[in-house]
Each structure stands twice: as C-alpha cells, then as structure tokens.
Structure 1
Amino acid sequence: MPITIIPHSVSCNDLTDDGPVGRPLSQPPCRTSSLEVDLEGAGQNRTGLWECAVGAYERQVAEAEVMHILAGECLFTPTGGTPIRIKAGDTLFFPANTTGIWEILEPLRKVYVILQ
C-alpha cells in the first residue's frame, strides 16, 4: 500500500476550484477549492485538503469530521452556541450533524477526514 505525501500541503497548488459554498451568508459568496486524496483502506471515508476564501456560510456536512487547520483563521458559531476562534495549528473533531455558521477571517486551508 503506497503512502501518499503532499509536500508543503500548506502551499500546495494542486487544488481544484469547487466554486462558491452551498449556503453563503456573504456576498460575493466565498469560493472553495480542494484536493481529494483517495486513501486505500479508508472505505467510504473521504480525505483531502480543502481551502475557503474569506466570507461566511452555513455548515452543511452531516457526517462526523476531523480537521486540522494548516493556514488561516475563522470563527465557528455552533447553532445555539458561542463563537469559537479557530486558527492555523488547531485540530477539530466535529460530531455528526453539527450545524452552525463559519466566518472565514483569513483564507482557510485544512486537512480533513469525513467519516461515513
């Protein structure tokens, strides 16, 4: 089984433009890009790099997600909760069905694992 390495993942230019977020709260809508990594043995779990431009939007990932922030800064306000400041170097564990608002303050790049 080969090991996948993304050298300098914080500045990797191999991401594909995914267009605007699905539920924007700012205008113009913030745009996203990603690089999916097909990880052998991961089953239906999805992994890769993801980046988002400055703006705000509603979280729409229903599955549990693990992410490590490589660059940028943002606020995440869970539905009914208080804002959480998140920045480069932070690792987050989102339970399934976590809802809330992302406010991207500086372009954000993360490594993610979405658990099926």
Structure 2
Amino acid sequence: MSNLTFFKFDDLGPSRDRAPLPERLMEGNPQFRSWEVERSSDDKVLTGIWETTPGTFRSIKGGTWEFCYILSGVSEVTEDGKPPVRIQAGDSFVMKPDFTGVWRCIETTRKIWVVYE
C-alpha cells in the first residue's frame, strides 16, 4: 500500500452529482459535481475536487473546517454580515466551522477542498 495518492484533474473518474438543497437555493439552477480523492483512516480529513455551475445558494458549514483553492471560474462568497469577496483561479481561503453565507457562482467554478470534520 502506498502512502501517496496521485490524481489528474482531467481523469477524476465518476463524479457525485447533485444540486443545492431546495431550502438553500436562492437563484438559478446551480449543479454541483464532486470527486472525493482521499480520506484519512479515521474519516476526519477528506480531500477532493468540487465544481458548481452558475447560480446562488446558501452555504452553511456547521462543524466542518474547509480549506479551498480555486482552480477555475469566478464566484463571490459573502459571509453573513460581511461584504462580498470575489474569488477566482489561484485564490485560496478557509471556511471555518459555523460559517454561514451566500455563494454566488458567476462562471462555473472548480476548487480543490480539504475538510476536517
């Protein structure tokens, strides 16, 4: 068994496809695709790729900590009570536990994510 996991962005295998929960949908018809790449043996740390098509939805992290690195596209993330932040390829940020806000995808956006639950 190897202690390295390699993956290629153009060969991620089958995705898990879904949409925002109806109560979180705010505008449009965003569709999500995600690919889990790896998880720790205790299932507390996971990493993968996520993509959304244009639209606006509520983002609620609950107890999850998430690091994000934007690979492509343009979106805007607005934490409740804060001004919007435009994100695009090359940007990175952390969504801490209990984050609540709005994710507005302007151009299909793809990110690498690492979560700790």
The normalised TM-score by structure 1 is 0.87
Cα deviation for residue 45 of structure 1 reads 1.5
Corresponding residue for 1:47?
Answer: 47
Tell me the distance in 2 between the aligned counterparts of 1:101 and 1:40.
29
Q: What 5-or-longer segments of structure 1 have no aligned partner? A: none
Whether 2:115 is the aligned partner of 1:104: answer no
Q: Which amino acid aligns with 2:59?
A: R
Q: What 5-or-longer segments of structure 2 have no aligned partner? A: none
Q: Which amino acid aligns with 2:73?
A: G
CA RMSD of aligned residues (A): 1.7
Cα deviation for residue 64 of structure 1 reads 1.1
Corresponding residue for 1:20?
Answer: 19
Cα deviation for residue 15 of structure 1 reads 4.7
Which moved further from structure 2: 40-49 or 80-89? 40-49
Structure having the larger proportion of residues in strand: 2
Tell me the distance in 2 between the aligned counterparts of 1:75 and 1:100.
11
Task: Tell me if the contact between 1:30 and 1:53 (Cα under 8 Å) persists in the aligned partners.
Answer: yes
Tell me the distance in 2 between the aligned counterparts of 1:45 and 1:74.
25
Cα deviation for residue 12 of structure 1 reads 4.3
Tell me the distance in 1 between the aligned counterparts of 2:38 and 2:96.
23
The normalised TM-score by structure 2 is 0.86
Corresponding residue for 2:33?
Answer: 33
1:75–1:38 distance in 2 versus 1, CA, 3 Å: same
Cα deviation for residue 38 of structure 1 reads 2.5
Tell me the distance in 1 between the aligned counterparts of 2:73 and 2:42.
27
- Identity, in percent, stands at 27
